[in-house]
């Protein structure tokens, strides 16, 4: 039987998600030996929280799925580090942990999250085979352990296509608290929006993960058969860099008016994302691109990934040079320079 305090906590998390938050997808700080750099891992969390992030998503694609490899063994350590820093934030912060793999693995990861004190699990279905029936059974099983956030991950980085009918059925699961919409595809994004609108649920928040269309998602009101629906906030790999600017951008989008100035900003943000995520090379350098920005800002020591084959693509560094020169107002360089040493100490 669900305890009263558990239900109250779930209601609180729903309300905070519905209020609209900027949630960065947390990277992994490694040293030159590709081992966890705990000092810099903590500094990243401190930066995001100081920048005004309303939550952190840890153990997700940006954190690198390979942390789950038994030979790496970093899933629990990075979850615990982030949880400790969020506990010190001095304000409510939504704690989201990534969940992936077949049902036994996913339930085990959900249990770890629940035991550490995470509020919800971001449930990736990438790599899972089977029918919608099997996927829904999988989601229901994980939701028995922890409230879940649906995750429409783009196929280019390991996701799978999920139909409108799948999302309608997914929304029948009571402990769904949000959906991160990140297929980088307008048709597929609308499948989810329509599903939420037609589900009759008002307690499930939509979060954009479409890093190529952040502003458009956040500033648009979707009219689905007479029901107006908005993305509440963003849960974004893009906001793993320049988070303070991302928080300010979310505030600009809250009125839901895509005026000329905001439309211009939308293009600038997408241009930046193309460089950071390596769109020119099918997103092969998406994690390393984020690392490169954080390295330049002094928060990371290098761009190392767990997979030695992952790194910056040819020309990606030059593209990062360009967008940071052209759009300095979208960068956190000055803010980080003032506070970096404090975040890195202690």
Query: Could you tell me the pLDDT band of residue 152, with boundaries at 50, 70 and 90?
Result: very high
Would you state the structure tokens that stand for residue 181, as one six-digit string? Answer: 């919409």
Q: Tell which phi-psi region holds residue 226, choosing left (phi > 0), alpha (psi between -120 and 50) or beta.
A: left
Query: Could you tell me the pLDDT band of residue 1, with boundaries at 50, 70 and 90?
Result: very low
Please report whether residue 205 resides in a domain. yes
The pLDDT of residue 225: 85
CA-CA distance, 206 to 17, in Å (whole number)?
A: 9
Please report whether residue 25 resides in a domain. yes
Please report whether residue 196 resides in a domain. yes
Query: Could you tell me the pLDDT band of residue 6, with boundaries at 50, 70 and 90?
Result: confident
CA-CA distance, 291 to 307, in Å (whole number)?
A: 14
Please report whether residue 270 resides in a domain. no
Residue range 155-171: mean pLDDT, rounded: 90
Question: What CATH code is carried by the domain that includes residue 133?
Answer: 3.20.20.70
Q: pLDDT above 90 covers what percent of the chain?
A: 91
The pLDDT of residue 156: 77
Residue range 175-184: mean pLDDT, rounded: 97
- With a CB cutoff of 8 Å and minimum separation 6, the contacts of 250 are 20, 21, 22, 218, 233, 234
The pLDDT of residue 129: 85
Per the structure, the complete domain to which residue 78 belongs is given by 4-256
The pLDDT of residue 3: 52
User: How do residues 274-319 score in pLDDT, each as one tens digit?
Assistant: 999 999 999 999 999 999 999 999 999 999 999 999 999 999 999 9
**H or E, element range at 7:** helix 4-19
Residue range 142-158: mean pLDDT, rounded: 91
The answer to whether residues 229 and 206 touch, using CB atoms and an 8 Å cutoff, is yes
- Say whether pLDDT at 346 is over 80: no
Residue range 236-262: mean pLDDT, rounded: 96
Mean per-residue pLDDT of the chain: 95
Q: pLDDT above 70 covers what percent of the chain?
A: 98
Residue range 96-121: mean pLDDT, rounded: 97
CA-CA distance, 68 to 101, in Å (whole number)?
A: 10
**pTM flag (> 0.85):** yes
The secondary structure of 155-174 as a DSSP string is GGGT-----HHHHHHHTTST
Please report whether residue 344 resides in a domain. no
Please report whether residue 327 resides in a domain. no
Closest CA to 330 of 305, 293, 280, 301: 293
- Say whether pLDDT at 262 is over 90: yes
The pLDDT of residue 5: 56
Residue range 129-134: mean pLDDT, rounded: 91
CA-CA distance, 220 to 202, in Å (whole number)?
A: 18
User: How do residues 180-231 score in pLDDT, each as one tens digit?
Assistant: 999 999 999 999 999 999 999 999 999 999 999 999 999 999 999 889 999 9
Beta bridge partners of 234: 22, 208
**What are the distances in angstroms from CA 282 to CA 63, 185, 279, 308?**
19, 14, 5, 18
User: How do residues 329-339 score in pLDDT, each as one tens digit?
Assistant: 999 999 999 99
Please report whether residue 250 resides in a domain. yes
The answer to whether residues 306 and 31 touch, using CB atoms and an 8 Å cutoff, is no
Query: Could you tell me the pLDDT band of residue 251, with boundaries at 50, 70 and 90?
Result: very high
Structural domain total, the chain: 1
Residue with tokens 């890093």: 211
The pLDDT of residue 7: 79
Please report whether residue 262 resides in a domain. no
């Amino acid at each position: 039987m669900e305890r009263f305090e558990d239900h109250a906590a779930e209601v609180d998390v729903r309300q905070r998600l519905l209020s609209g938050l900027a949630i960065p997808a947390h990277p992994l700080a490694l040293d030159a030996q590709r081992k966890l750099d705990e000092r810099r891992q903590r500094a990243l969390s401190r930066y995001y929280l100081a920048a005004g992030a309303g939550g952190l998503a840890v153990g997700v694609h940006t954190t690198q799925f390979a942390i789950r490899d038994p030979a790496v063994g970093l899933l629990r350590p990075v979850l615990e580090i982030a949880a400790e820093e969020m506990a010190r934030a001095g304000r409510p912060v939504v704690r989201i942990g990534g969940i992936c793999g077949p049902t036994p693995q996913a339930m085990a990861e959900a249990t770890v999250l629940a035991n550490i004190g995470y509020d919800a699990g971001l449930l990736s279905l990438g790599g899972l085979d089977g029918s919608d029936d099997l996927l829904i059974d999988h989601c229901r099983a994980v939701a028995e352990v922890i409230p879940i956030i649906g995750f429409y991950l783009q196929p280019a980085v390991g996701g799978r296509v999920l139909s409108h009918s799948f999302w309608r059925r997914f929304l029948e699961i009571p402990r769904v608290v949000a959906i991160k919409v990140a297929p980088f595809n307008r048709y597929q994004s609308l499948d989810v929006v329509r599903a939420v609108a037609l589900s009759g649920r008002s307690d499930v928040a939509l979060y954009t993960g479409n890093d190529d269309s952040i502003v458009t998602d956040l500033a648009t009101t979707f009219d689905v058969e007479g029901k107006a629906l908005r993305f509440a906030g963003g849960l974004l790999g893009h906001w793993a860099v320049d988070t303070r600017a991302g928080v300010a951008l979310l505030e600009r989008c809250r009125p839901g008016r895509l005026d000329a100035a905001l439309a211009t900003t939308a293009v600038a943000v997408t241009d930046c994302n193309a460089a950071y995520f390596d769109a020119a090379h099918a997103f092969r350098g998406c994690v390393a691109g984020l690392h490169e920005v954080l390295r330049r800002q002094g928060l990371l020591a290098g761009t190392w990934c767990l997979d030695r084959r992952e790194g910056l693509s040819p020309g990606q560094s030059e593209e990062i040079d360009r967008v940071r020169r052209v759009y300095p107002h979208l960068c956190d360089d000055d803010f980080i320079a003032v506070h970096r040493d404090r975040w890195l100490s202690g």
